Amino acid sequence: MKKFLAMLLAIVAVLGLSACGKDDGLTMWCIATKSDSNRHSYEAAIADMEKKYPDTKLNWEAIENETYKQKIKAAVAGDNMPDIFFTWSCAFLGDFVEAGKVYCLDEAYKEFADKLPEKMCKNTTYGGKKYGVPLTMNIVGLFANMDILAEVGYTEVPDTYEKLIECCNALVAANKIPFGCAGKETWCVTEYLESIIEKSIGAKALDDIFMGKTTKASWDNADVAKAVDLFQTMIDNKYFDPDGVSLGNDAVKQNFIDGKYAFYMNGTWNCADFSKKGPKNVKVAEFPVIDATKSKLGQLIGGPSDTLAVAKSAKDAANTAKYTFELGQLICKYGYLDGCGLPAWTVDYDASKVNALTQSVAKIVTDSDYMVLFGDTAMPSDEAGKYLDQVAKVYTKQVDGAGFIKALKEGIR
């Protein structure tokens, strides 16, 4: 009897302790770790929210990108999701929505519709319903070290494809490396390849391929093959650093900062770093048009992808949804002011101190009329995997244009 009572007491004590650990506040998971360039925007936004809602405590946790993908999927699988969670738009969030784990934000959106343009919610709308709060958005930009370009007689970033090729030839002749691309991280290769394909076949055609709007056979496009061949011709012509195949993005980015390359194509989240660390004289532009009959300037790769979403299981989901919109708006504001991306939300504050590069990107986006989301974000993860496999082979010339479209036409189910 004594033993039984002791055990009973122990169980009560354990239950009591676990109850002590519970908190009535909201929980949030994101990827803004201490080394992440967006960390400050999260901290500042959360501080503002805690001031505004002192009774609502937000317990937030930041997890490294790749680990986060695993963790959130496991949480969805185990019905153990935080109230608010960071997600990428399109297919990544779409899987959770399809599984019925995400709270629909249509009602809450009504209150914020005047500050958050409908088009910014396009990538997180499924079956006509909104499920995500977009934060900042980014595009792929052609960053140019103007000091290196000046050495071969260019004072502006070449604005036509012909001029770009002339410029690259001049750079090669002067023993300069035009482009740096990290072959060890396939997403970096896509930044080049997708831009070249888009400016060859047009944004609408590429968007249709990525989003599977037509049949999967849309990969069977001779112009895509031609664009891939063109990219490989650029590699053959020594426009790319041959050491790039063995480098990761950090090394390539550092090489650009150190003045080893004239150009660097990558996401505009780099604006903040380039403004602070160099190169001294850097400009950003969009990749020039290759086939003017199919594409034009103003067609970009990128768009709103970083998103906050609310779990269906969230405490007081309706109010949590409103809280998430407010929080998202603030993260967007601070992220833009820090130069970590462009605002998905309307700017109703003084943004004159945003770095010049980010302001250039803002102008490019304002002048744009079509944005195609990054292929590996737009496509379902299994298809994205096969796509990235082929992209990696293109960079190392293990497959040519014809082989690329053939493999994707056959490989994507």
Partner 1 sequence: MKSKKYDGLTIFLFLLPAIILFVGILVAPLISSFVNSFFEYKGFGAKTPVQFDNYRRLFDTNETWFKPSVVHALILAGLSVFVQLPLSLGLALLLGRGIKGERFFLSVNFLPVLISTVVIGQLWLKVFDSNGMVNALLRMVGYLKEGEDNIQWLADNGSGILLYSCFVPMLWQYVGYHMLLMYAGVKSVPTELREAAKIDGATDWQVDWHVVIPSMKQIIKVSVIFAVTGSLKSYDLIRIMAMDLKVKDAAVPSTVLMDFMSLRQEYGVASAVSVMLILLCFFFAITIGAVFKERD
CB of 282 to partner 1, least distance (A): 24
233: its two tokens = 């011709």
Query: Is the sign of the CA dihedral 240, 243, 249, 250 positive or negative?
Result: negative
CB of 247 to partner 1, least distance (A): 8
Cβ proximity to partner 1, 314 vs 362, nearer residue:
314
CB of 298 to partner 1, least distance (A): 32
CB of 237 to partner 1, least distance (A): 14
CB of 34 to partner 1, least distance (A): 19
Instruction: Say if residues 252 and 181 touch (Cβ distance below 8 Å).
Output: yes
CB of 369 to partner 1, least distance (A): 32
Instruction: Say if residues 153 and 361 touch (Cβ distance below 8 Å).
Output: no
Cβ proximity to partner 1, 76 vs 165, nearer residue:
76
Cβ proximity to partner 1, 16 vs 78, nearer residue:
78
Cβ proximity to partner 1, 226 vs 260, nearer residue:
260
CB of 382 to partner 1, least distance (A): 5
Q: Could you tell me which of 173, 154, 361 has the C-alpha nearest to residue 274?
A: 361
Cβ proximity to partner 1, 112 vs 187, nearer residue:
187
Cβ proximity to partner 1, 27 vs 186, nearer residue:
186
CB of 49 to partner 1, least distance (A): 29
CB of 210 to partner 1, least distance (A): 17
Q: Could you tell me which of 370, 328, 377, 260 has the C-alpha nearest to residue 105?
A: 328
CB of 413 to partner 1, least distance (A): 9
Cβ proximity to partner 1, 77 vs 318, nearer residue:
77
- Looking up tokens 């001779």, which residue turns up? 222
Cβ proximity to partner 1, 194 vs 286, nearer residue:
194
Cβ proximity to partner 1, 273 vs 389, nearer residue:
389
CB of 260 to partner 1, least distance (A): 11
Torsion angles phi and psi, residue 178, rounded to 5: -65, -55
Cβ proximity to partner 1, 147 vs 243, nearer residue:
243
Assign 3-class secondary structure to the chain.
CHHHHHHHHHHHHHHHHHHHHCCCCEEEEECCCCCCCCHHHHHHHHHHHHHHCCCCCEEEEECCHHHHHHHHHHHHHCCCCCCEEEEECCHHHHHHHHCCCECCCHHHHHHHCCCCCHHHHHHHEECCEECCEECEEEEEEEEEEHHHHHHCCCCCCCCCHHHHHHHHHHHHHCCCEEECCCCCCHHHHHHHHHHHHHHHHCHHHHHHHHHCCCCHHHHCCHHHHHHHHHHHHHHHCCCECHHHHHCCHHHHHHHHHCCCEEEEEEEHHHHHHHHHHCCCCEEEECCCCCCCCCCCCCEEEEEECEEEEEECCCCCHHHHHHHHHHHHHHHHHHHHHHCCCEECCCCCCCCCCCCHHHHHHHHHHHCCCEEECCHHHHCCHHHHHHHHHHHHHHHCCCCCHHHHHHHHHHHCC
Q: Kindly list the residues in this chain that would bind partner 1 in the complex (CB under 8 A).
A: 66, 69-70, 73-74, 76-77, 95-96, 98-99, 101, 183-186, 242-243, 245-248, 381-382, 384-385, 388-389, 392-393, 396-398, 407, 410-411
